Structure formats: C-alpha cells, structure tokens
Chain A
Amino acid sequence: MKYVIIGNSAAGIGAVEGIRQADKKGEVTVVASEPHHTYSRPLISYLLLGKTSEEKMKYRGDGFYKENGCDLLAGVSVKEINSGKKSVALDNGKSISYDKLLVATGSTAFVPPFEGLDTVKDKCTFMSLDDARQLEGYLGAEKRVLIIGAGLIGLKCAEGIAGSVSHITVIDLAPRILSSILNDDGAKIVQNHIESRGVEFRLAASVKRFEKDTAILDSGETIGFDILVLAVGVRPNTSLLKDIAKIDKGIIIDAKSKTTAADIYAAGDCTQTLDISSGQNRIMALLPNAYMQGECAGINMAGGEKEFDKAIPMNAIGFFGLHVITAGNYTGDVYSETENTNYKRLFYSGNKLNGYIMIGNVEKAGIYTSLIKEQTPLDSIDFALVCERPGLMAFTKEDRQIKLGGKAK
C-alpha cells in the first residue's frame, strides 16, 4: 500500500501515526512545501517571546520520520493531483503515485488588497516559522508596530513581540477583540488586560490606505509605524482538490475524514466539517481537531475503522498571563459568574450544554468541554453544582465507578 500525505503539520503527522496503528509496512511519503522538520505552528509567537526554541517547538522528535518508516520530501510542493491516474505531480518535476492520498494543506493568511500596501517596506503575515523569522529581523527597541487583525493570530503576535518593540497598535474591523471566540464583556476583560501591557487598540476601524510608514484610517486618523503585521484572517488551501472533490468554504469531509473523491482524504485547517455543538458544517481550524482528523484519516486509509465525529470549536489561549478557554457556541440560557478577573459563562438549552467561556480561572474546563462533546443530558447530572464547580461530583455514583473505578460501561 502506498500512502501520500500532503502536509507536515498536525493533521499530516496525525495521519502518519494513524496509518501506523493499522499498517506497519505500507510506504508513507509526506510532502511538505516548507523546508522544515514538523513544527508546531501556534508556537511561533512563543518563539519570538523566547519561551520556546526552534528545537523545542518540533512537534515530534528528530527520529519521527525514521521511527515511523516514512519519507519526508520537505521544501517540495504538490502542483497537481491526478485522481484518475492516482498520482501527484511535484514542483521538482517528479510525480509520485498513491493508493490512498491525504490532503492536509492547511490554510494561508488572507491579505486584503489595501491601497498602497506595496509602498510599505517591512511587512509580513504571521502563520509560519519563516514569517516569524522575517518579523524577528524587523524588530528593534525603537520600532512601532501596526497589527491588522485583533484575532488569535494578531494578538498572540502582539504578546510575542511586545517586549521587543517600542509600541504596538492593533486595528480590527470588528467592534471587539477576539470576535470569533469571545462575547462583548469577555472581550472587554481581555482587552483591558492587554491594554494594561501597553498595547493600543483601534476597534470598529479599518485602514483606507497605506503611505509607506503611515496608515490612514477610514476615520481620517493617521497611525505611523515601522513594521506592519497582516493578521486579518486565513483561507483554507483547497485548490488542489478543485474539480476533484466537493468543496464549500473548506474541503468537505465526513466523520471518517474522507472527501467525496475516491481514495482521497482530507484533514485539518483546509477542511470543513460538522460542528456538533451547533449542528452546522464549518471550518474549525484548530490544532487538536486537525490532529484527530488526521489520525482518523490515517486509520481509515490503512483499512482500519475510525470516526472522529465530536468536532467542536474550542480554544485555549492566554495573553500576558491571562488565560482564556472557550468551546462550543454561545446560544441558549446563560449561567454567569464574575469574580475579580475570573469570568465564566455557560450557555445551555434543550437539556444540553452548548458552549462556555472561562477567563482567568480555567481549572477543570475540560469537564465542560466533555459535556458539550458527549451531549450529556443535563438532567442526568447535578447541573447546578457543575456550573459552580466543574468536577466529577456532579455525576452519579455509577458514572464515577466507570470514570474512576474502572467499571465497564
């Protein structure tokens, strides 16, 4: 059996580990456009912060490819998939055939066509190790940074470089920061905390045009800067499967990580899948989901049986020591708790927990995540207790015998 995996990040690595659970012998080739050993993409801000190193941010150890008997073609891009001939054409002129193919191509930073962007000298996106190294080259104690985008990427970037520059301004179209994962008052708490570290925000604002080292906003305000970071958003890399498999915003996959094309699977940020917390199909570009979709794909590619049908949006993130954990969707009735900088909101309806937001004290958040993923009927647990104190006490004695006592389900 010949397996080809396009992509060397969480989903691709998950697939290698999944394949090897079911097939120790098949030939596995990983094709990666970046010329690096597998590394953890979300760690690039920690690299600039000095909290990790290129060595420590390797997603798997140096021996990974050898131990798993796979070939890594790093620095090589796939130009085209020929699903009829079952082969992929590489940009080095070669082509390799496959029996089973995984597309784990991730996503790319989206750069809107700002007027005057080409007049800006020191600018970058913030998605890859090479982006981080490029940004690092621009940094300096007297430099002013303008970040476009107050989402996860833009704000992690701000945290990563805050100590290495003189000033940071973050602009976003949305009226609140982290608009994809936080509600208004949660966003305000996190914003205040980040502002207390000297980062300035312009929200509900947009850049009309750039003139070299100046951004002119729609409001007429001008902001001077030396470095521009473009963190507006990401777009899934789906083009290789255009006209081959069904694509909506992302590549459509089922619970087995299979696309609509024969023998072709997809996983990770390039895909779109069912969010069981909302019942909607959406892109959930998150590392844990990517790994588990990749692993699931690998097992199925190798002839095993696996379903990953518990995907939900979920995020654990921190800024300057303030931790935020969120999951699911924020509809339904609300349980609220606010104490100093600790903030908790649980959203529930129809006897199920739909989602939650925890800021500050995030201990045992996984208890809530599990209630969402397992769609636990809330009348089967002590919901009032678990709202207040996440823990196993809220479950029945019988449930605890299964969870803690090793009793069979």
Chain B
Amino acid sequence: MKRVYVNEKWCLGCHLCEYYCAFAGTNETDMARALKDIKINPKINIEEKDGVSFAVSCRHCNEPLCVKGCITGALTIADGVITINKDKCVSCYTCILSCPYGAVSPSDDGAVQKCELCAKTTSGMPACVGGCPNGAIVFEERG
C-alpha cells in the first residue's frame, strides 16, 4: 500500500510539513489565517540535530503495536490505514508507551492523535507530502 516515506537527504528542516499537517485538520481555506497566533500540535514532527533533519509520522505498521495494545479498541486498522476513534479514546497513553517511532502523541481534545494519511480530511495525497517543497516526504508504494 501507499505510505508516507522519508527521503532524509532532501529534508530542509523547514517544518512546512508540520504546518500543512496542522492546517489539514482545521477545515479552513487560508493557511495563514487558520494558523495565525496558535501553537500548532501536528501529527508529523521534524527531528533535527547538527544539520540532519527528517520528518516522523505514523508508519501504518503491518503489525501495529498501538492497535494491538489499545485498551479501548479506539485504534483500529482497516485497509492498512490506522485511525483513531476519538470518541472511544480515554487518553490512557498505552499507544504512546507502545509506538516504537514516537508517532502517537497527546492532543488537546481528550484523545491521542496520529497521522491518518489525511483519510478523514481530504482525499488523495496527505497534506504534508503536498506541502513539502523538496520531495523529502513522498506518498508511494515501496518494498
């Protein structure tokens, strides 16, 4: 299946993916207006150190430890995409304990958050990929 993959050497560390991710969840039409004066809490995060940077978001694992460990059944996998039912989640953080990529994070709405490949926001390409100016994150089939 198609996943978000990282081409580390192309990452500029510009953090635009984080802004596009945060914007994708707002249902607004203008990014500058939507994100003005707010501290974003995106589902994709740039790690950077000494000139190296790369984006980390959910890998949509074939053997997802977050889904298997979820105590409520809020995290599920369907057609390879792992999504969170925020209504069922109680923020116990067992998924944060379980994810080997650090790709599930707390959110401000009483449930955890993670990349859902923009399945709930747009159709087609994840917003982070569309917004990356340098092809450092791509949405494609690989091995």
Chain A residues in the interface with B (C-beta under 8 A):
10, 14, 40, 42-43, 46, 51-52, 56-61, 287-288, 291-292, 295, 314-318, 323, 325, 327, 362-367, 369-370, 374, 385, 390-393, 397, 400-401, 403-408
Contacts of A60 in B (CB 8 A): 73
Given A363-B102, A366-B102, also A325-B96 (CB < 8 A): yes
Say whether A291 contacts B68, CB under 8 Å.
yes
- CB within 8 A of A363: which of B47, B54, B105? B105
The answer for the CA separation of A317 and B105 in the assembled complex, in Å, is: 15
A362 near B94 with CB under 8 A, answer no
Are A406 and B72 neighbours in the complex by a CB distance under 8 Å?
no
List residues of chain B with CB within 8 A of the CB of A52. Answer: 72, 88, 90
Asked if A404 and B88 sit within 8 Å, CB to CB, the answer is no
Given the known interface contacts A369-B98, A400-B8, A406-B5, the answer about A323 and B93 at a Cβ–Cβ threshold of 8 Å is yes
Check B97 against A391 for contact (C-beta < 8 Å): no
Q: Are B73 and A318 in contact (CB under 8 A)?
A: no
Contacts of A403 in B (CB 8 A): 59, 101
Excluding A43-B90, A400-B8, A406-B142, 18 further A-B contacts by CB distance (< 8 Å) are: A14-B68, A42-B71, A56-B72, A57-B88, A58-B73, A60-B73, A288-B65, A288-B71, A288-B94, A288-B98, A291-B69, A362-B97, A363-B106, A385-B49, A392-B47, A393-B47, A393-B48, A404-B5
Q: How far is the CB of A13 from chain B (nearest CB, A)?
A: 9
Task: Say which residue of B59, B68, B97, B143 sits within 8 Å of A369 (CB atoms).
Answer: B97
Closest CB in chain A relative to B69 CB, distance in Å: 3
Q: How far is the CA of A42 from the CA of B69 in the complex (A)?
A: 12
15 A-B contact pairs sorted by A residue (CB < 8 Å): A40-B72, A43-B72, A52-B90, A287-B69, A287-B71, A288-B69, A295-B68, A316-B93, A318-B91, A366-B101, A369-B98, A370-B100, A393-B48, A401-B8, A404-B101
| Residue count of chain B within 8 Å CB distance of chain A | 39
Q: Quick check: B97 and A406 within 8 Å, CB to CB?
A: no
Once A318-B92, A318-B93, A393-B47 are accepted as A-B contacts, the answer to whether A292 and B59 lie under 8 Å apart by CB is no
CB distance from A401 to the nearest CB of B (A): 7
Expressed in whole angstroms, the minimum distance between the Cβ of B63 and any Cβ of chain A is: 10
Q: Is the pair B90, A316 in contact by a Cβ cutoff of 8 Å?
A: no
Q: A14 to B68: give the CA distance in the assembly, Å.
A: 8
A315 touches B91 (CB 8 A): no
* Contact present for A400 and B102 (CB under 8 Å): no
Contact check: which of B5, B7, B54, B104 meets A366 at CB < 8 Å? B104
Known: A365-B96, A400-B54. Contact between A51 and B90, CB under 8 A? yes
**Residue on B with the closest CB to A47?**
B90
Contact with A along B1-29 (1 / 0, CB 8 A): 00101111000000000000000000000
- Given contacts A52-B90, A287-B94, A406-B142, A366 and B99 within 8 Å (CB-CB): yes
Known: A295-B68, A392-B47, A393-B49. A316 touches B94 (CB 8 A): yes
Contact: A364 with B69, CB < 8 Å?
no
Quick one: given A52-B90, A295-B68, are A315 and B143 in contact (CB under 8 Å)? no
CB-defined contacts of B8 to chain A, threshold 8 Å: 397, 400-401, 404-405
CB–CB B97/A42 < 8 A: no
Q: Tell me the bound Cα distance from A70 to B110 in angstroms.
A: 34
Q: Which A residues are in CB contact (< 8 Å) with B118?
A: none
B56 at the interface (CB under 8 A from A): yes
* Smallest CB separation, B138 vs chain A (Å): 10
Q: In the complex, are the beta carbons of A362 and B93 less than 8 A apart?
A: yes
Q: Which residues from B are CB-within-8-Å of A57?
A: 72, 88
User: B56 touching A391 by the CB < 8 A rule?
Assistant: yes
| Chain B residue nearest to A295 in the complex (CB) | B68
Contacts of A362 in B (CB 8 A): 93, 96-97
Chain A residue numbers with a CB within 8 Å of B47 are 391-393
Do B102 and A391 touch across chains, with their CB atoms under 8 A apart?
yes
Question: Could you say which residues of chain B place their CB within 8 Å of the CB of A42?
Answer: 71, 92
B88-128 residues at the A interface, CB under 8 angstroms: 88, 90-102, 104-106, 110
In the bound complex, CA of A176 to CA of B7 (Å): 48
Q: Does B40 contact A (CB under 8 A)?
A: no
Tell me which residues across on chain A come within 8 A of B69, comparing CB atoms: 287-288, 291-292
Contact with A along B59-94 (1 / 0, CB 8 A): 100000100110111000000000000011011111
Select B100's contact among A58, A367, A406, beta carbons within 8 Å.
A367
Cα distance A213–B106 in the bound complex, in angstroms: 42
